[in-house]
């Protein structure tokens, strides 16, 4: 198993009820699969994870990215704003 550190920010932290979590994931697991695992562990994240921004070891990644061993995976809520 691959042990990773999970960080939640802003609304995601509020809904998860924790700032950080340690998880063991399968080798070769993708961000999309991790999002599914997190929704099972933290059901209040269900509507938020689909559009969340994700970084692995301080670099942004997409859902199909594979998570390396001992990674730090951070989740940020989607950002909107600006003038139309």
Q: For residue 82, what pLDDT is reported?
A: 53
Q: Which pLDDT band, with edges at 50, 70 and 90, does 78 fall under? A: confident
Q: What is the pTM of this model?
A: 0.90
Q: What residue numbers bound the domain in which 72 lies? A: 2-76
- Residue 46 resides in a domain: yes
In terms of pLDDT, which residue wins out, 74 or 78?
74
- Residue 84 resides in a domain: no
Q: For residue 1, what pLDDT is reported?
A: 85
Split into its structural domains, the chain has a count of 1
- Residue 83 resides in a domain: no
What CATH code is carried by the domain that includes residue 18?
A: 3.10.20.30
pLDDT at 79 over 80: no
Quick one: average pLDDT of 67-73? 97
pLDDT at 84 over 80: no
- Residue 48 resides in a domain: yes
- In angstroms, how far apart are the furthest CA atoms of the chain? 47
Cα distance between residue 10 and residue 37, in whole Å: 20
- Residue 7 resides in a domain: yes
> What DSSP string describes 5-72?
EEEE-THHHHHHT-SEEEEEE-TT-BHHHHHHHHHHHSGGGTTTGGG-EEEETTEEE-TTPBPPTT-E
- Residue 44 resides in a domain: yes
Quick one: average pLDDT of 44-48? 94
- Residue 57 resides in a domain: yes
């Amino acid at each position: 198993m691959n042990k990773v550190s999970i960080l939640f920010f802003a609304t995601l932290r509020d809904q998860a009820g924790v700032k950080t979590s340690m998880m063991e994931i399968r080798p070769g697991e993708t961000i999309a699969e991790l999002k599914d695992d997190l929704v099972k562990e933290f059901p209040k994240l269900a509507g938020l994870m689909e559009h969340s921004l994700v970084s692995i070891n301080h670099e942004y990644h997409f859902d199909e990215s594979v998570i390396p061993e001992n990674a730090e995976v951070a989740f940020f809520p989607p950002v909107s704003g600006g003038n139309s």
